[in-house]
Amino acid sequence: MVTGKPSYADMISIKEKYIQAKYAEKLFVRRSRDCDFPQSVAQQMWDAVSGNDKKAVYRLIVNGEADVNSVYDHQSSSTSSLTLSRVMLIPEKPPTREDVLLRLRNELLDRTSSGCCSSSIPPEEAGGGGSLLHCACEKADIGMVELLLQYGANVNAKDSSGQTPLHYCILRGKAVVARLLLTRGADPEAVNGEGKTALDIAAESKFTDAEVLALLSEAANGYNHRQ
């Protein structure tokens, strides 16, 4: 049983057990108490990805069994369960002053957090229904994108407008992230709701990264040759 970090003088076998416990079995990841999670795991994931908080995302995946492919629905705020604030609206007895303050606090949290991705992605581009990976491609850095991909995020997921994460990167000029997506299996021939590929969008925008354009062009030429 590994109880802590070994010292320099400990045997190699003890150090190996510690490494296994830390990185494979995740035994030393801090286990949060229920009171640390006033919101659902899904909402916390959206907040963490939107805020580019990789430590929080990792902790939620390990501890909370978060779904890295959850879809953001701006109509239902990505969660279907009743929040504490909604429960407080139907009290079994007259609320106390503390109850009222708690309800107001949670309603404020709901309003603040519910716009995670939809508040900054123009409706004509996103249309709602984006995944955590879409959110990361718009608001986080390449490290967050890599983290989600490492834990099984669908690189070709589409939002309700048919945009893939690759479309998002081209629209926002994120060449480094676009290259990562392409190396991790992003489909350069995927079309959005208007029938446009990432290359089509690049041609209409000011996207100028030569390497990404070359990769997209090669894919398009390969597709044309197959016709």
40, 79 in Cβ contact below 8 A? yes
Coil, helix or strand at residue 38: coil
Query: What is the token pair recorded at 223?
Result: 């597709």
Q: What is the pLDDT of residue 97?
A: 59
CATH of domain 12-78+116-226: 1.25.40.20
Helix ranges restricted to H, the chain:
12-19, 41-50, 54-64, 84-88, 97-113, 132-139, 142-150, 165-172, 175-183, 198-204, 210-226
- Angle of helix 132-139 relative to helix 165-172, nearest 10 degrees, comes to 10
pLDDT of residue 68: 93
CA–CA–CA angle 152, 157, 162 (5° rounding): 175
Q: Mind listing the pLDDT tens digit of every residue in the chain (227 residues)?
A: 556 677 777 777 776 776 676 655 555 555 544 444 446 888 899 999 999 999 999 999 988 788 999 887 644 443 333 333 343 344 445 566 566 566 656 555 554 444 444 333 333 344 468 999 999 999 999 999 999 999 999 999 999 999 999 999 999 999 999 999 999 999 999 999 999 999 999 999 889 999 999 999 988 776 454 44
Domain ranges for the chain, please list them: 12-78+116-226
Q: What's the pTM value of the predicted model, to 2 decimals?
A: 0.62
Other CB atoms closer than 10 Å to residue 154's CB: what's the count? 16
- CB within 8 A of 29, min separation 6: which ones? 59, 62, 63
Amino acid (one-letter) located at 14: I
User: Taking CA 44 as the corner, what is the angle to CA 41 and CA 47, rounded to the nearest 5 degrees?
Assistant: 155
DSSP 122: -
Cβ-based neighbour number of residue 20 at 10 Å: 12
- Copy the structure tokens of residue 113: 């957090």
The token pair at 85 is: 């604030």
Question: What is the per-residue pLDDT for 25?
Answer: 58
